[in-house]
Amino acid sequence: MTSLLERRRRRVDELAEASGRSLTADAFQRLRRNPVAIVGAVLVGLFVLVSILAPWLAPHDAATAFPELQRTLRPDSIPGAQPGFPLGSDQNGRDFFSRMILASRQTLLVGVLATLIGLVFGVLIGALAGAFGGWVDTVLMRVTDVLLSIPSLLLAISIAALAAKPSQTTVIIAVALVSVPVFARLLRGSMLAQRESDHVLAATSLGVRRRAIVLRHMLPNAMGPVIVQATLTLATSILDAAALSFLGLGDGDPARAEWGLMLANAQSYLDVRAALAFWPAIAIILVALGFTLLGEALREALDPKGRR
């Protein structure tokens, strides 16, 4: 009897001493219970895993043409699956399966780098505009308005076309620049909302330094929608990069494995072997879908409504 009471008492003490759950921990909890998030996370996780392990997963080199494939390769017939080559040959007699796997690295690299660059610059611009207001805000926002008014793919094409020699780097820069104004606008909006909020007023009245208010109170509270947007931007960046490659504005080296480029090259062989277009297309769609689902689930989890 006493032992039960003792245990109860200890449990109550434990509860009283337990540390609280932050909003981030709360959001993560909600995320884990959402099936949409799980599907998205599985797709994204698979993609990331494959691209990291690509050199070990791919049975062959991406640039090497194999005589056993080339032997049966003709303009009107591309060999399909055979021992050692699960997806058969591509139009140049290289192992299609290995190229598909190795291409995931390019896609991940472009998507992540472009999004990160866009995020960093967008957050910088948005935070400056939102924190200072006044003419700083006006100037920065008019510039982003101009960028926003141009359709994103058109803008990316223009930027990529400006480069003297199209390469992977120009694609990343073009795709990143397109997402900068989106991040900047979004963050600036929620920073402004934070600026008017009671807890910022309370911090001001407490005598907290302006810089600390911006960095500790306004920015963390304003980042929610930006994080969601970043996840969604990963998907669009991958699509945009693929589109640029498809349009011939990426690195044109035919030896390089990249889904967008593979899709572009497969165009001429649609009648001969549709699988050459099918697999890269499916891969792009699934990866973009994964990031989109994850982003949507994240938006739901971070939504401040339904809390309180």
Site residues, another protein (CB under 8 A): 16-24, 197-199, 201-209, 212, 216-217, 220-221, 304, 307-308
What six digits make up the tokens of 41?
């996370």
What span, in angstroms and rounded, lies between the C-alpha atoms of 147 and 150? Answer: 6
Quick count: other Cβ atoms within 10 Å of Cβ 41?
17
96 within 8 A of 87, measured Cβ to Cβ: yes
The residue (of 261 and 301) whose beta carbon lies closer to another protein is 301
The residue (of 20 and 67) whose beta carbon lies closer to another protein is 20
The residue (of 3 and 22) whose beta carbon lies closer to another protein is 22
The residue (of 136 and 289) whose beta carbon lies closer to another protein is 136
The residue (of 21 and 71) whose beta carbon lies closer to another protein is 21
CB of 216 to another protein, least distance (A): 8
| Residue 209 φ then ψ, to 5° | -65, 150
The residue (of 120 and 201) whose beta carbon lies closer to another protein is 201
Nearest to 23 by CA among 200, 188, 227: 227
CB of 207 to another protein, least distance (A): 3
Q: What is the DSSP string of 60-119?
A: S-SSPBPHHHHTT-BTTB----BTTBTT-B-TTSBBHHHHHHHHHHHHHHHHHHHHHHHH
What six digits make up the tokens of 204?
């001001």
- Residue linked to tokens 């990529």: 160
CB of 6 to another protein, least distance (A): 20
In whole angstroms, what separates CA 86 from the centre of its chain? 29
CB of 26 to another protein, least distance (A): 8
CB of 215 to another protein, least distance (A): 12
CB of 307 to another protein, least distance (A): 6
The residue (of 202 and 270) whose beta carbon lies closer to another protein is 202
CB of 17 to another protein, least distance (A): 5
First to last CA, the chain: 39
Q: What is the DSSP string of 13-45?
A: HHHHHSPPPPHHHHHHHHHHT-HHHHHHHHHHH
